[in-house]
Amino acid sequence: MRADGIVTNWTETSPHSPIVTVGIGLVCLLVLLAYFGISPALQQAMIEMGGMHPYKLAQILEQSADSWWNLSMLTLVTSIFIHANWLHLAGNLAYLWVFGMPVEQRIGSFGLLAVFLLGGTLANVIVTLQVPQLDTPIIGASGAVSALVGAYLGLFPKRRIGLFLPLGLYLQFARVPALLVIGSWFTLQLLYTVFGPINAAVAWWTHVTGFALGLSITLMGKALAQIRL
């Protein structure tokens, strides 16, 4: 632990309250409640202003680097916290809770926030480069949450995840290796990316890139920690 109280232990479990994981979930929930509390016209304006438009961002990125300081670039971050329905939010919050809590307990609040925001933002950038012609706003924390899934695998490659598996007419609780569970999930994202419709493929691309970024960030963090040791 550093002198400022920030846990940066990438190699051993550190007892740390998952305050950022809970905070991210609450922010997303409050944004959705605000969305439901306004008129349809304002809802559309909220998505248009806060959502990420690959077409607009691609035009900005084609310019010189000094032109990148544009308000539209903020949507790379704001879009992460906007959801348009309960199902979308519930799915992301479930993954955030399962994978975010142990990640934050290991690398601390600052580390969790860095992986979440950096992974989500870079995933949006890569999606922008993949589909620069798309002018439909993209919203949701899928890329950032997928980065946490990748971070979890990098931190706990040998850990088992508790699942309820259907066996006949009953559900049987079993602890399945994280590598198998996350590997199966990642394979599905790749298949959906290749064979899914173009609009859905955008979402799957966000999942795939977010996961790869989260895993890469974690592995680099562990490598640097080992070097300092």
Residues 97-135 have pLDDT tens digits of: 989 999 999 999 999 999 999 999 999 998 888 888 888
User: Which pLDDT score is estimated for 167?
Assistant: 57
Residue 150 maps to a domain: yes
Q: What is the pLDDT of residues 157-201, one digit of tens each?
A: 888 776 555 555 555 555 667 777 777 777 766 666 565 555 555
The three-class DSSP label of residue 177 is strand
The pTM assigned to this predicted structure is: 0.82
User: Which pLDDT score is estimated for 168?
Assistant: 57
67 Cβ neighbours under 8 A, 6+ residues apart: 60
* Percentage, residues of the chain above pLDDT 90: 40
Burial pattern 3-39, b for ≥16 Cβ within 10 A else e, equals eeeebeebeeebebebebbeebbeebeebbeebeeee
Residue 2 maps to a domain: no
The parent domain of residue 220 ranges over: 19-228
Residue 3 maps to a domain: no
Q: Is 73 exposed, middle or buried (CB count within 10 Å of its CB: 0-12, 13-18, 19+)?
A: middle
Quick check: 150 pLDDT over 80?
Answer: yes
User: Which pLDDT score is estimated for 86?
Assistant: 92
Quick check: 83 pLDDT over 50?
Answer: yes
* CA nearest to 100, candidates 180, 177, 28, 35: 28
40: CATH: 1.20.1540.10
Q: Is 213 exposed, middle or buried (CB count within 10 Å of its CB: 0-12, 13-18, 19+)?
A: buried
Find out whether 229 and 11 touch, Cβ atoms under 8 Å: yes
Round to whole Å and give the CA distance between 76 and 149.
Answer: 20
Q: Please give the structure tokens belonging to residue 209.
A: 């890139």
User: Which pLDDT score is estimated for 202?
Assistant: 60
Please give the mean pLDDT across all residues of the chain.
81
Average pLDDT over residues 35-45: 94
User: Which pLDDT score is estimated for 203?
Assistant: 66
* Percentage, residues of the chain above pLDDT 70: 79
Dihedral sign for Cα atoms in the order 176, 177, 183, 189: positive
Residue 87 maps to a domain: yes
Residue 174 maps to a domain: yes
Q: How many structural domains is the chain composed of?
A: 1
Residue 10 maps to a domain: no
Residue 8 maps to a domain: no
Residue 221 maps to a domain: yes
**Which residues is 163 bridged to in the sheet?**
174
